[in-house]
Amino acid sequence: MKRPLRILCAASGGGHVEQILACLEAFAGCDVALGYYGYPNFDDFSHPAIARMRPVKFIGWNRALMALTQIVGFFQWLWILAIERPDVIFSTGSEVAIVPIIAGKCLLRCRTVFVETASRTENPSRTGKIVYPFCDVFFVQSPALLKHYGPKARYAGRLL
């Protein structure tokens, strides 16, 4: 029997996770794990369509602490990628998506899908600009963003 498609979702808290949840119906029958910043308000989060929760240490918001979060997160993401062995990495954003998309694409040859956050209607996010070259599929939720990205950017409507 063929194993189900393994999908690793990567998202920051709040609206990014809400957008992931809006997409879960499309992953029916797949083995889904969620990698996310381990905010304290996420300690009790669960969803029936998500098989495993993989927290990544979040250290802080100021520039120095965010840099430290990215360094620590880099090694945690490598571990998560090694144990999850995803076929697809899917993200709705924030900087938490950078490492798994780039490492997953370059090291594991995963398919990568990124959905630019719904809050970006006129200008692309920094994360979107960084991960765009590494994505197999790249969606924007505002048609105005199509002019900021290359030919693989697609507008298919809004998630929320």
pLDDT per residue over 20-75, tens digit each?
Answer: 999 999 999 999 999 998 887 777 889 999 999 999 988 877 888 888 888 888 99
Provide the residue range defining the domain that includes 151: 21-155
In a domain? residue 132: yes
The Cα angle at residue 46 between residues 2 and 84, in degrees rounded to 5: 40
Alpha helix ranges (H) inside the chain: 15-23, 63-84, 98-108, 126-131
**pLDDT at 160 exceeding the cut of 70:** no
pTM as predicted? 0.92
In a domain? residue 16: no
Mean pLDDT of 1-28: 91
Q: Domain tally for the chain?
A: 1
In a domain? residue 5: no
Specify the CATH number for the domain of residue 45: 3.40.50.2000
**CA 112, CA 116: separation in Å to the nearest integer?**
13
**CA 20, CA 69: separation in Å to the nearest integer?**
22
In a domain? residue 15: no
In a domain? residue 105: yes
| 15 within 8 A of 117, measured Cβ to Cβ | yes
In a domain? residue 35: yes
